[in-house]
Amino acid sequence: MAVKRAIAPEKRAQELRARIDEANYRYHVLDDPQISDQDYDALLRELLDLELAHPELQTPDSPTQRVGGTPAGGFPPYVHTRPMLSLGNAFDEAELLAFDARVRKLAAVDGDVAYTCELKIDGLAVSLRYDQGKLTAGGTRGDGSTGEDVTTNLRTIKTIPLSLRAPGSGPVPRHIDVRGEVYLRKSDFERLNAEREARGAARFANPRNTAAGGIRQLDPKMTAERSMTFYAYAVGEIDTPRPPRTQAELLACLKSLGFRVNEHARAVPSIREVIRFVEEWEVKRDELDYEIDGVVIKVDDLALQAKLGSSGKDPRWAIAFKFRAREARTKLLDIVVSVGRTGVLNPNAVLEPVQIGGTTVSNATLHNQDYIRANDIRIGDVVTVIRAGDVIPRVVGPVLELRKGNPPEYTLPTVCPVCGADVDHPEGEPMARC
């Protein structure tokens, strides 16, 4: 009897973990949840209680560890078993053709070389180590050979599996380093900023910095709050009986292990098709709910990749095609205030017209008084403006080294520019109202 009782909690914990992992996978990876949020919370609460009562049952891969444990004290170094390479850049078709010509010459290939095209997500590259199917450690890229060990923070990201799923074909790799990008969706970024504005905190500048900052939080709870996500796109070391032979197979393998891989990756038979892919996505990039800054092109055949090797930090078998910048500098001529339907005063920048990614921009948002003050934006400054897709262009901040003299700080009018009534700007609130 006593023995039976001692085993039961362990079994139940295992069962709960398996059900929660499955629910997480269905919700976050497949986008196809099968249990309600309440049921999910009930399972998680039961597991938390069980682990509290039986601390010996807590495992590092338990879903309860995603909640964010105790704060980490700085980050220890994370040594990459294989270097995390960076990528050379191409900015036009001629540079892509030159890349292909070099690949064919070095590989002594006469005909076409097949490539895999992947969207270049603008986030933070990380490497995840799995031993016997369990996430054991994870780190940032750093200088390519040593990064920072941010394991606790990475565990809070729900699209990073804590344990690998058994692929349909064969066993889970004994060991695998999975590499990919941690990033923030545009919609999550907007929601996060709206929440921050509502409680009077400064807005985050862009999704990329928010993700990078989120990973380097000392308190994992702060990481968890930023609701980041992860796409896998490469492996470092891998120890498995039948390793993938092409980049396309590698992506399929990562998917079968439980990772999200980007659904727009495409294997193509030649550099001409690469160019088509690049042109297609330069136009379609705004349709995505995440920011991309280009396309990563990889030789599809992994044996050929190994043969080509790398020169310095850049592999000879891959290149990043970079889209035209969405950022420009121009002069802030004036700040005009419009009044929204709800009476909110919106300061807008009047800019010296400038070309950004193919359109002329002469207006941009400045959000509110706090934003202008926090970023020290003044009339007459040369400012950096970014245009991300269909959203209104935004003034990021001044180029301080180009500031002339000491222009006055900007303050919102105290009377409404539309009706002349008093403007109400409660202390601690970001928005002023008519």
Determine, following the binding rule CB under 6 A, whether residue 320 of this chain makes contact with ligand IVH: yes
Distance CA 127, CA 134 (A): 14
Selected binder of ligand IVH within 157, 234, 297, 308 (CB under 6 A): 234
Do the bridges between strand 89-90 and strand 318-322 make them parallel or antiparallel, or are there none, so unpaired?
parallel
Determine, following the binding rule CB under 6 A, whether residue 301 of this chain makes contact with ligand IVH: no
Q: How far is the CB of 261 from ligand IVH (least distance, A)?
A: 9
Distance CA 219, CA 240 (A): 35
Determine, following the binding rule CB under 6 A, whether residue 87 of this chain makes contact with ligand IVH: yes
Selected binder of ligand IVH within 85, 113, 388, 416 (CB under 6 A): 85
Q: How far is the CB of 278 from ligand IVH (least distance, A)?
A: 13
Determine, following the binding rule CB under 6 A, whether residue 211 of this chain makes contact with ligand IVH: no
Q: How far is the CB of 295 from ligand IVH (least distance, A)?
A: 8
Q: Which residues are catalytic?
A: 120
Q: Which is nearer to ligand IVH, 89 or 136 (CB)?
A: 89
Determine, following the binding rule CB under 6 A, whether residue 346 of this chain makes contact with ligand IVH: no
Determine, following the binding rule CB under 6 A, whether residue 235 of this chain makes contact with ligand IVH: no
Q: Total number of residues binding ligand IVH (CB under 6 A)?
A: 15
Instruction: Pick the stretch among 101-109, 117-125, 370-378, 415-423 that binds ligand IVH (CB under 6 A).
Output: 117-125
For 144, phi then psi, to 5°, come to 100, -30
State both tokens at 406. 């000491």
Amino acid letter, 395: V
- Asked whether 114 and 268 are in contact (CB, 8 A), the reply is yes
Determine, following the binding rule CB under 6 A, whether residue 118 of this chain makes contact with ligand IVH: yes
Selected binder of ligand IVH within 318, 361, 386, 395 (CB under 6 A): 318
Closest to 395 (Cα-Cα) out of 385, 403, 409? 385
Instruction: Pick the stretch among 45-53, 82-90, 272-280, 360-368 that binds ligand IVH (CB under 6 A).
Output: 82-90
Determine, following the binding rule CB under 6 A, whether residue 128 of this chain makes contact with ligand IVH: no
Q: How far is the CB of 126 from ligand IVH (least distance, A)?
A: 9
Residue nearest ligand IVH, CB atom distance: 125
Dihedral-angle region of residue 56 (phi above 0 means left; psi in -120 to 50 means alpha; beta otherwise): alpha
Return the CA Rg of the chain: 25
Do the bridges between strand 318-322 and strand 146-148 make them parallel or antiparallel, or are there none, so unpaired?
unpaired
Distance CA 426, CA 204 (A): 22
Q: Which is nearer to ligand IVH, 99 or 371 (CB)?
A: 99
Determine, following the binding rule CB under 6 A, whether residue 315 of this chain makes contact with ligand IVH: yes
- For residues 130 to 149, the per-residue mask of contacts with ligand IVH, x marking binding by CB under 6 A and - elsewhere, is -----------x--------
Give the distance, in angstroms, between the CA of residue 58 and the centroid of all CA atoms in the same chain.
Answer: 29
Query: Rounded to the nearest 5 degrees, what angle is found at the Cα of 154, between the Cα atoms of 13 and 396?
Result: 145
State both tokens at 145. 């050979």
Determine, following the binding rule CB under 6 A, whether residue 178 of this chain makes contact with ligand IVH: no
Q: Which is nearer to ligand IVH, 19 or 316 (CB)?
A: 316
Distance CA 63, CA 68 (A): 10
Determine, following the binding rule CB under 6 A, whether residue 121 of this chain makes contact with ligand IVH: yes
State both tokens at 364. 């941009």
State both tokens at 371. 């934003």
Determine, following the binding rule CB under 6 A, whether residue 296 of this chain makes contact with ligand IVH: yes
Q: What is the DSSP letter of 427?
A: T
Q: How far is the CB of 292 from ligand IVH (least distance, A)?
A: 8
Q: Which is nearer to ligand IVH, 84 or 386 (CB)?
A: 84
State both tokens at 172. 């889970």
One-character DSSP codes across 107-163: HT--S---EEEEEEE-SEEEEEEEETTEEEEEEE-TTSSEEEB-HHHHTT-TTS-SB
- Sign of the CA dihedral with 331 first, then 336, 341, and 342 last: positive
Q: How far is the CB of 313 from ligand IVH (least distance, A)?
A: 9
Q: How far is the CB of 179 from ligand IVH (least distance, A)?
A: 7
Q: How far is the CB of 303 from ligand IVH (least distance, A)?
A: 16
Selected binder of ligand IVH within 28, 57, 69, 86 (CB under 6 A): 86
Closest to 188 (Cα-Cα) out of 206, 176, 170? 206
- Interface residues toward ligand IVH, by CB under 6 A: 85-87, 118, 120-121, 125, 141, 181, 233-234, 296, 315, 318, 320
